[in-house]
Amino acid sequence: MNSILLQNLQKHIVLTEKELQYFFSSFEVKNIKKREFLLREGNISRGLAFITNGLLRSYSVDKNGFEHVIQFAPEDWWVVDMYSFVKDQPARLFIDALENTEYLWLSKMNLQNLYLELPQLEHYFRVLAENSVITYQNRLINNLSLPALERYHNFCSQYPSLIQSLPQKQVASYIGVTPEFLSKMLSTIK
């Protein structure tokens, strides 16, 4: 019974010991190494990953081959290509590991059974989805209204711990500029 996921869960719902047993038995502990893939564009995302250690990232690749980071997923975060997972359609995202990572894997089938057995999980995942909406909406507003340098500062203050472990290139990709341009911006403010 993983303590990180347990704490995360208990922020939102209360389960009995027995229910917790069942909940955790639906997960599989997995590991991937740096640079390995959890999901590739075109494949179908057949489950959710909860990160217990390490760092994943999801990103799309445009037709010119440029990567655009959608999300960084450090410890205590869920990650999935929601579109692919919900609609059973080919993924638009890649998910790979920026560091060696341990995660808990919950297959769609297991999740569906969990929803039937433990309806409180509908609440848990509703709240997660709503928070995700808030995050995306906020990022969209930033992208539409702020210049690149302010988006960078926002990122730093929002994810102070991430900024230390991320290559600058990845941050550039997240805030939506080229690595060259981020480098030039940073050289002007120091």
Measured CA to CA in angstroms, residue 10 lies from 16, 120, 121, 138, 151 at distances of 11, 11, 11, 26, 33
Q: Which does 187 bind (CB under 5 to 8 A by kind): a copy of itself, DNA, none?
A: DNA
Please report, as residue ranges, which positions from 109 to 148 form the binding site for a copy of itself (by CB under 8 A): 115, 119, 122-123, 125-126, 129-134, 136-141, 143-146
Nearer to DNA, 3 or 64 (CB): 64
d(CA 170, CA 189) in angstroms, rounded, equals 20
Stretch that binds DNA, among 44-52, 86-94, 122-130, 170-178 (CB under 7 A): 170-178
Q: Among 6, 28, 35, 66, indicate the residue that binds a copy of itself (CB under 8 A).
A: 66
Reference 169, options 186, 182, 152; nearest CA is 182
Rule CB under 7 A: is residue 111 a binding residue for DNA? no
Binding site for a copy of itself (CB under 8 A): 60, 62-63, 66, 68, 70, 82-83, 86-87, 92, 115, 119, 122-123, 125-126, 129-134, 136-141, 143-146, 176
